[in-house]
Structure 1
Amino acid sequence: MLYSVPDYYNQFSCIADQCEDTCCAGWEIMIDAKTLQKYKEVEGGFGNCLQNSIQFRRGSFKQYNHRCAFLNEDNFCDIYTELGASMLCDTCRKYPRHMEEYDGVRDLSLSLSCPEVARIILSHKERVRFLTKEKKKESEQFEDFDFLLYTKISDARNCIIGTLQNRKLDVNVRAAISFALAHDLQNRINSQEYYTMDRQINRYKTETVVDYMIHKLELYQSKEAERFKIIRKQFSLLFRLEVLRKEWSENAKLAFEQLYKNGWREYIKKRRRFLSYMRKNEELGISYETILEQLYVYFTYTYFSGAVYDENAYGKMKLAVISPLIIQELCQARWQENRSLTFADIVDIAHKYSREIEHSDINLKKMERLFGKKKEFYFEKVLISLLS
Structure 2
Amino acid sequence: MTIRKPEYYDEFVCTANKCPFTCCREWKIEVDDETNEKWKKLQAPENVYPVRKNMSQYTQKKDNMRVIALNKKHICPFLNEQKLCRLVCTFGDDVLSKTCRVFPREIHKFLDQEEFFLMPSCPAVIDLMKKYPDCKYIEMDTENIEGKKNTEFSELNFLRNVRSIFSDWMRRKEFDPQENLKHIFFAALELWRILQENSNEDFLFSDDFNAQIKKNLKEYKTKKLQKELADAISKIPSDQESAIFEQNELFLDLTTNYEREGLYKSELKDVLNKARLIEEENSTFLLEQKRKFNDHFSKWQELFRSFLTAEIESDCLLPDGNLQDFIVHLEWIALEYTAIKQFLFLDWIQNGSLTYEKIRDTITLVCRMTGYEEDDIYEYMQDCFDDVVWEWGYLAFILT
Q: Once the 2 structures are TM-superposed, how far is the Cα of residue 137 of structure 1 from its aligned partner?
A: 4.1
TM-score, normalised relative to structure 1: 0.85
* Equivalences for residues 29-178 of structure 1 within 5 A: 29-42=29-42, 48-55=53-60, 59-65=66-72, 66-121=74-129, 123-124=130-131, 126-139=133-146, 148-178=154-184
TM-score, normalised relative to structure 2: 0.83
Q: Secondary structure at the residue paired with 2:154?
A: helix
Q: Once the 2 structures are TM-superposed, how far is the Cα of residue 303 of structure 1 from its aligned partner?
A: 1.0
Aligned counterparts of 1:379 and 1:357: Cα–Cα separation in 2: 22
Change (3 A) 1:172 1:362: same
Q: Once the 2 structures are TM-superposed, how far is the Cα of residue 189 of structure 1 from its aligned partner?
A: 3.7
The alignment yields a C-alpha RMSD, in angstroms, of 3.1
Match of 1:234 among 250, 272, 294: 250
Q: Once the 2 structures are TM-superposed, how far is the Cα of residue 31 of structure 1 from its aligned partner?
A: 1.9
Aligned residues between the structures: 375
Which range moves more in the overlay, 84-93 or 72-81? 72-81
* Equivalences for residues 121-270 of structure 1 within 5 A: 121=129, 123-124=130-131, 126-139=133-146, 148-190=154-196, 191-192=198-199, 193-194=204-205, 195=210, 196-239=212-255, 241=257, 245-247=263-265, 250-251=269-270, 253-257=272-276, 259-270=278-289
Match of 1:304 among 303, 308, 316: 316
Aligned counterparts of 2:113 and 2:383: Cα–Cα separation in 1: 30
Change (3 A) 1:326 1:378: farther
**Contact 1:307 1:316 (8 Å CA) reproduced:** no
Aligned counterparts of 1:217 and 1:107: Cα–Cα separation in 2: 33
**Contact 1:2 1:106 (8 Å CA) reproduced:** yes
Aligned counterparts of 1:324 and 1:308: Cα–Cα separation in 2: 25
The percentage of aligned residue pairs carrying the same residue is 16
**Contact 2:336 2:370 (8 Å CA) reproduced:** no
Q: What runs of 5+ residues in structure 2 fail to find an aligned partner?
A: 47-51
Change (3 A) 1:44 1:105: closer
Q: Once the 2 structures are TM-superposed, how far is the Cα of residue 149 of structure 1 from its aligned partner?
A: 1.5
Which structure shows the bigger proportion of residues in helix conformation?
1
Q: Secondary structure at the residue paired with 2:169?
A: helix
Aligned counterparts of 2:112 and 2:388: Cα–Cα separation in 1: 38
Aligned counterparts of 2:176 and 2:87: Cα–Cα separation in 1: 48
**Contact 1:327 1:349 (8 Å CA) reproduced:** yes
Tell me which stretches of 4 or more aligned residues in structure 1 moved more than 6 Å. 43-47
Q: Could you say which residue in structure 1 is the equivalent of 2:49?
A: none
Change (3 A) 1:370 1:136: farther
Q: Could you say which residue in structure 2 is the equivalent of 1:9?
A: 9
Q: Once the 2 structures are TM-superposed, how far is the Cα of residue 171 of structure 1 from its aligned partner?
A: 2.8
**Contact 1:242 1:362 (8 Å CA) reproduced:** no
Aligned counterparts of 1:219 and 1:308: Cα–Cα separation in 2: 38
**Contact 1:157 1:305 (8 Å CA) reproduced:** yes
Q: Could you say which residue in structure 1 is the equivalent of 2:338?
A: 325
* Equivalences for residues 360-375 of structure 1 within 5 A: 364-370=377-383, 372-373=385-386
